[in-house]
Structure 1
Protein backbone atom coordinates (compact mmCIF):
# COMPACT_ATOMS: atom_id res chain seq x y z
CA UNK A 1 0.00 0.00 0.00
CA UNK A 2 1.18 3.50 -0.74
CA UNK A 3 2.94 5.14 2.17
CA UNK A 4 4.28 2.03 3.91
CA UNK A 5 7.83 0.77 3.55
CA UNK A 6 6.68 -2.86 3.53
CA UNK A 7 5.46 -4.10 0.15
CA UNK A 8 3.23 -7.06 1.05
CA UNK A 9 1.28 -7.46 4.24
CA UNK A 10 0.88 -10.87 5.93
CA UNK A 11 -2.50 -12.58 6.05
CA UNK A 12 -4.57 -11.70 9.12
CA UNK A 13 -2.60 -8.56 9.91
CA UNK A 14 -3.31 -5.01 11.03
CA UNK A 15 -1.29 -1.86 10.50
CA UNK A 16 -1.06 1.72 11.70
CA UNK A 17 1.16 4.72 11.22
CA UNK A 18 1.78 8.17 12.62
CA UNK A 19 3.07 10.80 10.24
CA UNK A 20 5.19 13.86 10.99
CA UNK A 21 5.44 13.60 14.75
CA UNK A 22 7.88 15.80 16.64
CA UNK A 23 10.20 13.29 18.34
CA UNK A 24 13.88 12.48 18.04
CA UNK A 25 14.69 10.34 15.01
CA UNK A 26 17.65 8.75 16.80
CA UNK A 27 15.58 7.76 19.83
CA UNK A 28 12.77 6.47 17.60
CA UNK A 29 15.15 4.22 15.63
CA UNK A 30 16.45 2.61 18.81
CA UNK A 31 12.98 2.15 20.34
CA UNK A 32 11.74 0.52 17.11
CA UNK A 33 14.70 -1.86 17.06
CA UNK A 34 13.96 -2.75 20.69
CA UNK A 35 10.26 -3.50 20.00
CA UNK A 36 10.57 -5.52 16.79
CA UNK A 37 9.51 -9.14 17.24
CA UNK A 38 7.76 -8.60 20.59
CA UNK A 39 4.15 -9.47 21.13
CA UNK A 40 1.86 -6.47 21.44
CA UNK A 41 0.99 -6.75 25.14
CA UNK A 42 4.59 -7.14 26.29
CA UNK A 43 5.64 -4.23 24.06
CA UNK A 44 3.04 -2.00 25.74
CA UNK A 45 4.26 -3.10 29.19
CA UNK A 46 7.88 -2.41 28.25
CA UNK A 47 6.96 1.06 26.98
CA UNK A 48 5.12 1.79 30.23
CA UNK A 49 8.28 0.85 32.12
CA UNK A 50 10.42 3.04 29.83
CA UNK A 51 8.08 5.99 30.45
CA UNK A 52 8.39 5.40 34.20
CA UNK A 53 12.19 5.10 33.76
CA UNK A 54 12.33 1.57 35.14
CA UNK A 55 13.63 -0.18 32.00
CA UNK A 56 16.18 1.47 29.68
CA UNK A 57 16.11 1.06 25.91
CA UNK A 58 19.35 -0.50 24.67
CA UNK A 59 20.97 1.63 21.98
CA UNK A 60 22.49 -0.09 18.97
CA UNK A 61 22.92 2.99 16.79
CA UNK A 62 23.65 6.67 17.50
CA UNK A 63 25.35 5.77 20.76
CA UNK A 64 28.16 8.29 20.92
CA UNK A 65 28.49 9.34 24.58
CA UNK A 66 25.58 7.14 25.71
CA UNK A 67 26.02 5.88 29.27
CA UNK A 68 25.97 2.17 30.00
CA UNK A 69 23.06 0.77 31.98
CA UNK A 70 23.16 -2.22 34.25
CA UNK A 71 22.81 -5.45 32.30
CA UNK A 72 22.20 -4.03 28.82
CA UNK A 73 25.15 -1.84 27.89
CA UNK A 74 24.58 1.56 26.30
CA UNK A 75 21.01 2.74 26.77
CA UNK A 76 18.68 5.60 27.64
CA UNK A 77 15.12 6.35 28.69
CA UNK A 78 13.55 8.05 25.62
CA UNK A 79 10.25 9.02 27.27
CA UNK A 80 8.85 11.18 24.45
CA UNK A 81 9.56 8.53 21.81
CA UNK A 82 8.13 5.80 24.07
CA UNK A 83 4.89 7.76 24.45
CA UNK A 84 4.62 8.10 20.66
CA UNK A 85 5.19 4.37 20.14
CA UNK A 86 2.67 3.52 22.86
CA UNK A 87 0.06 5.61 21.03
CA UNK A 88 0.98 3.82 17.78
CA UNK A 89 0.59 0.40 19.41
CA UNK A 90 -2.79 1.39 20.86
CA UNK A 91 -3.88 2.47 17.37
CA UNK A 92 -2.81 -0.81 15.76
CA UNK A 93 -4.49 -2.74 18.58
CA UNK A 94 -7.77 -0.94 17.86
CA UNK A 95 -7.36 -1.64 14.13
CA UNK A 96 -6.79 -5.34 14.86
CA UNK A 97 -9.86 -5.46 17.08
CA UNK A 98 -11.93 -3.83 14.34
CA UNK A 99 -10.71 -6.45 11.84
CA UNK A 100 -11.64 -9.27 14.23
CA UNK A 101 -8.12 -10.53 14.94
CA UNK A 102 -7.31 -12.42 18.12
CA UNK A 103 -5.66 -10.80 21.14
CA UNK A 104 -2.31 -12.56 20.64
CA UNK A 105 -0.54 -10.28 18.17
CA UNK A 106 3.14 -9.97 17.35
CA UNK A 107 5.01 -7.08 15.76
CA UNK A 108 6.34 -8.24 12.38
CA UNK A 109 7.29 -4.87 10.92
CA UNK A 110 8.13 -1.60 12.60
CA UNK A 111 9.84 1.27 10.83
CA UNK A 112 10.94 4.85 11.38
CA UNK A 113 11.60 7.32 8.59
CA UNK A 114 12.33 11.00 8.25
CA UNK A 115 9.40 13.28 7.65
CA UNK A 116 9.53 16.81 6.35
CA UNK A 117 11.76 19.52 7.74
CA UNK A 118 10.37 22.72 9.21
CA UNK A 119 12.47 25.87 8.94
CA UNK A 120 12.54 27.81 12.19
CA UNK A 121 14.34 30.92 13.38
CA UNK A 122 16.12 31.86 16.57
CA UNK A 123 16.85 35.46 17.53
CA UNK A 124 20.44 36.66 17.48
CA UNK A 125 22.23 39.84 18.40
CA UNK A 126 21.58 43.17 16.65
CA UNK A 127 18.10 42.21 15.45
CA UNK A 128 19.21 39.36 13.24
CA UNK A 129 17.74 35.87 13.10
CA UNK A 130 19.45 32.54 12.62
CA UNK A 131 17.73 29.72 10.77
CA UNK A 132 17.61 26.12 11.95
CA UNK A 133 15.64 23.09 10.83
CA UNK A 134 13.37 20.80 12.83
CA UNK A 135 13.06 17.23 11.54
CA UNK A 136 9.75 15.41 11.89
CA UNK A 137 9.45 11.62 12.02
CA UNK A 138 7.10 9.02 10.48
CA UNK A 139 6.33 5.80 12.40
CA UNK A 140 4.66 2.65 11.08
CA UNK A 141 3.89 -0.78 12.49
CA UNK A 142 2.38 -4.03 11.18
CA UNK A 143 1.19 -6.80 13.51
CA UNK A 144 -0.14 -10.27 12.80
CA UNK A 145 -1.73 -13.02 14.82
CA UNK A 146 0.81 -15.12 16.71
CA UNK A 147 1.44 -18.61 15.42
CA UNK A 148 0.80 -17.66 11.80
CA UNK A 149 3.68 -17.92 9.35
Structure 2
Protein backbone atom coordinates (compact mmCIF):
# COMPACT_ATOMS: atom_id res chain seq x y z
CA UNK A 1 0.00 0.00 0.00
CA UNK A 2 1.18 3.46 -0.84
CA UNK A 3 1.39 6.13 1.80
CA UNK A 4 -0.28 9.12 0.16
CA UNK A 5 -1.06 12.44 1.73
CA UNK A 6 -4.19 14.34 0.83
CA UNK A 7 -3.39 17.51 -1.06
CA UNK A 8 -4.44 20.59 0.90
CA UNK A 9 -6.09 22.70 -1.75
CA UNK A 10 -9.11 24.23 -0.04
CA UNK A 11 -10.10 26.15 3.07
CA UNK A 12 -13.49 26.73 4.73
CA UNK A 13 -15.02 29.07 7.27
CA UNK A 14 -18.42 28.82 9.02
CA UNK A 15 -20.21 31.44 11.11
CA UNK A 16 -23.63 32.51 12.33
CA UNK A 17 -24.18 36.26 11.99
CA UNK A 18 -27.00 38.77 12.59
CA UNK A 19 -27.36 39.79 8.93
CA UNK A 20 -30.07 39.74 6.27
CA UNK A 21 -30.55 36.43 4.47
CA UNK A 22 -31.78 38.16 1.29
CA UNK A 23 -28.79 40.49 1.03
CA UNK A 24 -26.43 37.62 1.82
CA UNK A 25 -27.82 35.64 -1.14
CA UNK A 26 -27.22 38.56 -3.49
CA UNK A 27 -23.68 39.14 -2.21
CA UNK A 28 -22.97 35.44 -2.71
CA UNK A 29 -24.12 35.53 -6.32
CA UNK A 30 -22.00 38.63 -6.88
CA UNK A 31 -18.68 37.39 -5.45
CA UNK A 32 -18.82 33.65 -6.22
CA UNK A 33 -16.16 32.53 -8.74
CA UNK A 34 -14.08 35.64 -7.95
CA UNK A 35 -10.57 35.59 -6.56
CA UNK A 36 -10.49 36.14 -2.81
CA UNK A 37 -8.60 39.45 -2.97
CA UNK A 38 -10.99 40.74 -5.67
CA UNK A 39 -14.03 39.86 -3.57
CA UNK A 40 -12.61 41.66 -0.53
CA UNK A 41 -11.87 44.74 -2.66
CA UNK A 42 -15.41 44.74 -4.13
CA UNK A 43 -17.05 44.57 -0.71
CA UNK A 44 -14.77 47.27 0.72
CA UNK A 45 -15.85 49.54 -2.16
CA UNK A 46 -19.48 48.82 -1.26
CA UNK A 47 -18.70 49.87 2.32
CA UNK A 48 -17.42 53.23 1.07
CA UNK A 49 -20.35 53.44 -1.40
CA UNK A 50 -18.05 53.66 -4.44
CA UNK A 51 -19.88 50.86 -6.25
CA UNK A 52 -23.31 49.30 -5.74
CA UNK A 53 -24.02 45.59 -5.51
CA UNK A 54 -26.39 44.36 -8.26
CA UNK A 55 -29.58 42.83 -6.88
CA UNK A 56 -30.78 39.70 -8.68
CA UNK A 57 -33.08 38.05 -6.13
CA UNK A 58 -35.73 39.90 -4.04
CA UNK A 59 -35.44 43.08 -6.07
CA UNK A 60 -38.91 44.61 -5.99
CA UNK A 61 -38.88 48.26 -4.98
CA UNK A 62 -35.13 48.71 -5.48
CA UNK A 63 -34.10 51.62 -7.67
CA UNK A 64 -31.61 51.45 -10.53
CA UNK A 65 -27.95 52.33 -10.04
CA UNK A 66 -25.54 53.62 -12.66
CA UNK A 67 -24.55 50.87 -15.07
CA UNK A 68 -26.02 47.86 -13.24
CA UNK A 69 -29.80 48.27 -13.00
CA UNK A 70 -31.30 47.52 -9.59
CA UNK A 71 -28.64 47.76 -6.90
CA UNK A 72 -28.05 48.57 -3.27
CA UNK A 73 -25.36 49.12 -0.65
CA UNK A 74 -25.70 46.34 1.98
CA UNK A 75 -23.31 47.85 4.53
CA UNK A 76 -23.90 45.48 7.46
CA UNK A 77 -23.70 42.35 5.30
CA UNK A 78 -20.56 43.62 3.56
CA UNK A 79 -18.85 44.37 6.86
CA UNK A 80 -19.49 40.86 8.23
CA UNK A 81 -18.57 39.07 4.99
CA UNK A 82 -15.30 41.04 4.60
CA UNK A 83 -14.41 39.94 8.12
CA UNK A 84 -15.19 36.31 7.21
CA UNK A 85 -13.18 36.50 3.99
CA UNK A 86 -10.16 37.82 5.89
CA UNK A 87 -10.49 34.92 8.34
CA UNK A 88 -10.69 32.57 5.38
CA UNK A 89 -7.52 34.10 3.93
CA UNK A 90 -5.76 33.50 7.25
CA UNK A 91 -6.98 29.87 7.29
CA UNK A 92 -5.59 29.36 3.79
CA UNK A 93 -2.26 30.92 4.82
CA UNK A 94 -2.01 28.50 7.77
CA UNK A 95 -2.71 25.57 5.43
CA UNK A 96 0.09 26.75 3.13
CA UNK A 97 -2.06 27.75 0.15
CA UNK A 98 -1.04 30.47 -2.31
CA UNK A 99 -3.18 33.52 -1.45
CA UNK A 100 -3.02 34.98 -4.96
CA UNK A 101 -4.63 31.90 -6.52
CA UNK A 102 -7.58 31.43 -4.14
CA UNK A 103 -11.01 31.42 -5.81
CA UNK A 104 -14.35 31.40 -3.97
CA UNK A 105 -16.10 28.21 -5.04
CA UNK A 106 -18.64 27.79 -2.26
CA UNK A 107 -20.96 30.38 -0.72
CA UNK A 108 -23.86 28.83 1.17
CA UNK A 109 -26.17 31.04 3.29
CA UNK A 110 -28.78 29.27 5.42
CA UNK A 111 -31.38 30.46 7.90
CA UNK A 112 -30.31 30.01 11.51
CA UNK A 113 -32.48 29.97 14.61
CA UNK A 114 -34.18 33.19 15.70
CA UNK A 115 -32.37 35.14 18.36
CA UNK A 116 -34.35 36.34 21.37
CA UNK A 117 -33.70 39.84 22.70
CA UNK A 118 -34.85 41.51 25.86
CA UNK A 119 -38.35 42.85 25.61
CA UNK A 120 -41.70 41.41 24.81
CA UNK A 121 -41.74 41.43 21.01
CA UNK A 122 -38.15 42.07 20.00
CA UNK A 123 -36.49 39.28 18.06
CA UNK A 124 -33.64 39.17 15.61
CA UNK A 125 -32.77 36.99 12.65
CA UNK A 126 -29.53 35.13 12.18
CA UNK A 127 -27.94 33.78 9.00
CA UNK A 128 -25.56 30.82 9.03
CA UNK A 129 -22.96 31.21 6.31
CA UNK A 130 -20.39 28.77 4.93
CA UNK A 131 -17.72 30.07 2.53
CA UNK A 132 -15.12 27.90 0.83
CA UNK A 133 -12.15 28.65 -1.41
CA UNK A 134 -10.04 26.45 -3.63
CA UNK A 135 -6.68 26.99 -5.31
CA UNK A 136 -7.09 27.95 -8.98
CA UNK A 137 -5.33 25.64 -11.41
In the superposition, the TM-score normalised over structure 1's length comes to: 0.81
Q: Is the aligned partner of 1:42 residue 2:38?
A: yes
Partner Cα separation in structure 1 for residue 57 and residue 129 of structure 2? 17
User: What is the match of residue 114 of structure 1?
Assistant: 111
Partner Cα separation in structure 2 for residue 47 and residue 112 of structure 1? 17
User: What is the match of residue 125 of structure 1?
Assistant: none
User: What is the match of residue 139 of structure 1?
Assistant: 129
Q: Is the aligned partner of 1:23 residue 2:19?
A: yes
* TM alignment of 1:83-94, pairs within 5 A: 83-94=79-90
In the superposition, the TM-score normalised over structure 2's length comes to: 0.88
Cα root mean square deviation, aligned = 1.6
When the two structures are aligned, how many residues end up with a matched partner?
A: 130
Conserved 8 A contact 2:11-2:133: yes
Aligned-residue offset at 1:119: 3.7
What runs of 5+ residues in structure 2 fail to find an aligned partner? 1-6
What runs of 5+ residues in structure 1 fail to find an aligned partner? 1-9, 123-128
Aligned-residue offset at 1:133: 3.4
